[in-house]
Amino acid sequence: MPVAARVEIAPPDIAPYRAGNIGIDYVTTFDSGRAGPHVVVNALTHGNEICGAIALDHLFRSGLRPARGRLTLSFADVAAYLRFDPAAPNASRYVDEDFNRLWDAATLDGPRHSVELARARLLRPVFESADRLLDIHSMQYATAPLLLTGLTAKTVAFARRVGVPEIIVRDAGHAAGGRLRDYRALGDPAAPQLALLVECGQHWEERAPAVALDTTYRFLAAACVLEDEEARRRLAEPAPPQRLIAVTTAVTIESDDFRFAGDYQGLEVIAKTGTVIARDGSRDIRTPYDDCVLIMPSRRLARGQTALRLGRFGA
């Protein structure tokens, strides 16, 4: 069932950014003219996750330019975003299918057609050229923000350089399809390119845009594209110590009758091994170890989708 929540933030008008400057609508690249990485900050992977659009709107309005390398600001599923209605805010997650389940060559090169696939195919060369990518998201519940790294050591190390949010989640993704964060070189442990995905809190809570913007500035500082003085200013306030959750299991729904055993919001720690946390048809879903952390339980409960992830706190 969709989650009822107050919409405390307003979606910005992104029409001024439609033309872009690289021949793709809603994509703008600023080139410093100096050697350095190509850094991409992407918003609106889901059309109802508007905090990223607010953060990018702020960057445009501030006149931010890279001190070295290139900076690209990208709005992804614009078609879904333009349908956003505060009275039914869950309805604009996507138009035809989830933009963040399309990121593998077989899907992108395959015969299927959808609004999201067409957009992904347009944006594909932008993301393939990225040395550093930040993908800005938000969540169904107002739990603590999360920085999702994937399984590679390079992304965990970079997440610690960024320094926020406080909780890092090391996870493998979804059975339903590849995420942008893990696409090609971005998810290849042997490649220098990397990507992070930030979940900034509940979709429409007041604090989410501030989390998105703080994470973005810190990401740009860690990627070495800000002016040195600006980077020092942005990083002047110490970040709290980060904690890492290692995901061991992604629970994929196998039936048309999946039910949670409690009203889980996320980041609950279940003390005992074998505790029933959900039922999937006739199958009990139990915690596989003591002190099991429940990560991002979903209310979009459909066969083949991820219901939640299970992990444990580590160093």
Q: 257-309 pLDDT, tens per residue? A: 999 999 999 999 999 999 999 999 999 999 999 999 999 999 889 999 999 99
The yes-or-no verdict on residue 2 having pLDDT over 70 is no
Percent of the chain at pLDDT > 90 equals 91
In the CATH scheme, what architecture does the domain 15-241 have?
A: 3-Layer(aba) Sandwich (3.40)
Domain chopping of the chain, boundaries: 15-241, 247-314
**Terminal Cα distance for the chain, rounded:** 35
The yes-or-no verdict on residue 230 having pLDDT over 90 is no
Q: What is the mean pLDDT of residues 173-186?
A: 90
pLDDT band at 4 (very low <50, low <70, confident <90, very high): low
Per residue in 99-118, pLDDT (tens digit) is 999 999 999 999 999 999 99
pLDDT band at 3 (very low <50, low <70, confident <90, very high): very low
Question: Residue 210's pLDDT is what?
Answer: 96
Q: Which residues of 120-153 are buried (b: 16+ CB within 10 A; e: fewer)?
A: beebbebbeebbbbbbbbbbbbbbebbbbbbebe
Per residue in 144-155, pLDDT (tens digit) is 999 999 999 999
Pairing relationship of beta strands 38-43 and 70-75 according to DSSP bridges = parallel
Distance CA 70, CA 220 (A): 11
pLDDT band at 21 (very low <50, low <70, confident <90, very high): very high
Q: What is the mean pLDDT of residues 166-175?
A: 89
DSSP conformational letter for 49: -
Per residue in 40-93, pLDDT (tens digit) is 999 999 999 999 999 999 999 999 999 999 999 999 999 999 999 999 999 999
The yes-or-no verdict on residue 143 having pLDDT over 50 is yes
Question: Residue 102's pLDDT is what?
Answer: 97
Is residue 22 within 8 Å of 29, Cβ to Cβ?
yes
Q: What is the mean pLDDT of the chain?
A: 95
Question: Residue 1's pLDDT is what?
Answer: 40
- CATH level 3 topology of 247-314: OB fold (Dihydrolipoamide Acetyltransferase, E2P) (2.40.50)
Q: How many CB atoms lie within 10 A of CB 257?
A: 12
